[in-house]
């Protein structure tokens, strides 16, 4: 009877140990599973965070690239417009120069040269004045001298391409320009402002 009692006691003790061992095993498995899940969650968060930073970096680079491309396109566009404006202006001034050269072939041109000579005479009151003109305008020297009304001498000036007169007096230290070339050139500023071809800033 005592043996049975002991056997039963041992059996229960053994069962208790097995039950405790099973509980501990489950507990450990649960802890291991929780630890693995925590590690996985942390790894997932790490991967997502890294992916987020990578996406942000890519987006920043993309925005920067787009901004650079737009700036380059704008600059290229402005350069093309400036070049187009320059071509238009050169065409306009080239045609104007042709019209003025055609005018120098008309009889009225002689009267214009006399007007210019008269204008110059008011500034050049001393002897030693040199009047510069185109080689083609040499036939008008007598009329110019009469309109100038003071002693002067003439020289041809190859830089006067359209017409008109220049004068200088070394003793007085002055020079004056009454050429059609200079008058046309002076119109460039006015043309730029009033042609409607000015680029907005």
Q: Could you report the per-residue pLDDT of 23-32, keeping only the tens digit for each?
A: 888 888 788 7
CA–CA distance, 44 with 32 (Å, rounded to integer): 18
Task: Tell me the angle at which helices 180-194 and 2-103 cross, rounded to the nearest 10 degrees.
Answer: 140
Q: Is the pTM of this model over 0.85?
A: no
CA–CA distance, 124 with 42 (Å, rounded to integer): 96
| Statement: residue 120 has pLDDT above 80 | yes
Q: What is the mean pLDDT of the chain?
A: 85
Report the pLDDT value the prediction gives residue 5, as an integer from 0 to 100. Answer: 58
Interval 5-26: pLDDT, tens: 567 777 777 787 777 778 888 8
Q: Which two tokens stand for residue 41?
A: 């969650």
């Amino acid at each position: 009877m005592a043996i049975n009692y002991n056997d039963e006691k041992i059996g229960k003790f053994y069962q208790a140990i097995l039950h405790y061992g099973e509980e501990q095993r489950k507990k450990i498995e649960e802890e291991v599973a929780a630890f693995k899940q925590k590690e996985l969650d942390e790894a997932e968060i790490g991967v997502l965070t890294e992916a987020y930073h990578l996406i942000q970096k890519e987006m920043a680079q993309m925005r920067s690239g787009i901004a650079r491309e737009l700036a380059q396109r704008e600059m290229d566009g402005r350069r093309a417009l400036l070049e187009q404006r320059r071509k238009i202006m050169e065409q306009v001034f080239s045609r104007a120069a042709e019209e003025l050269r055609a005018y120098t072939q008309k009889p009225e041109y002689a009267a214009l040269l006399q007007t210019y000579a008269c204008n110059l005479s008011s500034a050049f009151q001393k002897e030693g004045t040199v009047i510069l003109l185109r080689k083609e305008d040499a036939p008008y020297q007598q009329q110019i001298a009469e309109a100038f009304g003071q002693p002067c001498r003439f020289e041809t000036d190859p830089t006067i391409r359209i017409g008109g007169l220049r004068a200088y007096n070394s003793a007085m230290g002055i020079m004056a320009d009454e050429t059609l070339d200079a008058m046309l050139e002076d119109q460039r500023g006015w043309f730029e402002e009033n042609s409607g071809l000015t680029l907005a800033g």
